Amino acid sequence: MINVGIAGIGFMGMIHYLAYQKVKGVKVAAMCEQDRTRLAGDWRTIKGNFGPAGKKMDLSGIEKYERLDAMLADPKLDMIDICLPPAAHAPVAVSALKAGKHVFCEKPIALAPADARRMVKTAKAAGKQLMIGQVLPFCPEYAFAYEAVRSGKYGRLLGGHFKRVISDPLWIKDFYDPRKIGGPMLDLHVHDAHFIRLVCGMPRAVFTSGRLRGEVAEYFTSQFLFDDPAMVVSAMSGIIHQQGRGFSAGFEMHLERATLLHDFAMIDGQPETNMPLTVLSQDGKVQRPKQKPADPVDWFANELSEALSTVRRGKPSALLDGELARDAIILCEKQTASIKKSGLVTV
């Protein structure tokens, strides 16, 4: 049994707690939160853009801490699950690793590449696993696409287009503060930056056009340039100021012998699948691979199962690897620099 301590009871802390209930061989043994109401189990004020609403929870049998250092000193805990605001990821992860704990940390790994590098270096020195919760490869449509690329079933990947757009998240304080959350680039687009890095490799340069809100990118389109001129990859992300479409995401991925399509949105609070996962094969056939009914908590349960397997086998995960997550925020940093420069930026 792996004992986990969750640091932070916000939206993601709640989602992780619910996901752990679906995973065998793990116990949420401790929680750390400064809000005493939430620490007592009243989660009704928690709000997010997917999943269930917060409610009153029975947290009996779980150790409760208001101070992080006290939870890190708990000898029963094997892993710390960091669900704190992004600005806290690096310092808390480093402290947990130095305390001898494995770390699972919500994305983004950090707000700056230097902090991400420090986290990776500390994990190696401590001999512990650093895993970053980039959940996209565990979502059914993206998992299908990743396996299609990895297996070579449809031949070599030639590129594609990715999109991820939300309405302005008015309930998130400091969303556009580059020192606290980082805006759409690091909170939203980082998902696609990570997936692009995972399936395409690291680009040599980026060109991004878009508009800024203060110091952070608000809405933008990027072209990623690779050493292979046949690899053509672009992405669109950011926020819009109309609340009627809360979320939209999708991809069109081109392989030698097939094109993969997917497009989903939340319109007026209701899910709409504009394009279910579709495979356009070279022989002219159109296939719609069967997908289980969507429950986002299951995606996180799959992700956490991979994290626990990583701890047990003592080897980094190809999907949760800290270095991969570090590269994703390097790409985000370069994209923002390209907007400010109005030109190509070398990676």
Task: Find the range with the poorest average confidence among 12-16, 277-281, 294-298.
Answer: 294-298
- 214-243 pLDDT, tens digit per residue, is 999 999 999 999 999 999 999 999 999 999
DSSP secondary structure letters along 173-211 = TTTT-TTTT-HHIIIIIHHHHHHHHHHH---SEEEEEEE
Task: Find the range with the poorest average confidence among 42-56, 181-195, 287-301.
Answer: 42-56
- 55-96 pLDDT, tens digit per residue, is 999 999 999 999 999 999 999 999 999 999 999 999 999 999
Q: How far apart are CA 142 and CA 261, in angstroms?
A: 10
By the 10 Å C-beta count (0-12 exposed, 13-18 middle, 19+ buried), 280 is classed as: middle
Mean pLDDT, rounded, for 135-148: 96
**Phi-psi category of residue 108: left, alpha or beta, with phi > 0 → left and psi -120 to 50 → alpha:** beta
If pLDDT is split at 50, 70 and 90, which confidence band does 296 have?
Answer: confident
If pLDDT is split at 50, 70 and 90, which confidence band does 189 have?
Answer: very high
Q: How far apart are CA 135 and CA 296, in angstroms?
A: 10
User: What are the residue boundaries of the structural domains of the chain, listed by start?
Assistant: 2-134+301-317, 136-294+328-346
Give the H or E element holding residue 338: helix 322-341
Alpha carbons within 13 angstroms on the beta-carbon side of residue 65 total: 19
The architecture (CATH level 2) of 136-294+328-346 comes to 2-Layer Sandwich (3.30)
The architecture (CATH level 2) of 2-134+301-317 comes to 3-Layer(aba) Sandwich (3.40)
pLDDT of residue 49: 67
Q: What is the residue type of 8?
A: G
Contact 15, 304 (CB under 8 A): no
- 11-65 pLDDT, tens digit per residue, is 999 999 999 999 999 999 999 999 999 999 999 998 776 778 889 999 999 999 9
pLDDT of residue 234: 98
By the 10 Å C-beta count (0-12 exposed, 13-18 middle, 19+ buried), 198 is classed as: buried
Lookup result for tokens 């397997």: 309
pLDDT of residue 181: 95
Closest CA to 154 of 258, 284, 254: 258
Q: What is the residue type of 302?
A: N
* pLDDT of 341 above 70: yes
Average pLDDT, the chain: 95
Q: How far apart are CA 185 and CA 331, in angstroms?
A: 10
Mean pLDDT, rounded, for 341-346: 98
Q: How far apart are CA 262 and CA 275, in angstroms?
A: 5
pLDDT of residue 292: 77
Residue 66's alpha-carbon distances to 35, 36, 71, 151, 324, in angstroms, are 8, 8, 8, 46, 32
pLDDT of residue 26: 97
Please state, for a pLDDT cut of 90, what percent of the chain lies above it.
92
Query: Which distant-in-sequence residues (6+ apart) come within 8 Å of 31 by Cβ?
Result: 5, 6, 9, 13, 17, 39, 59, 62, 63, 64, 65, 71
- 111-128 pLDDT, tens digit per residue, is 999 999 999 999 999 999
Q: How far apart are CA 28 and CA 5, in angstroms?
A: 6
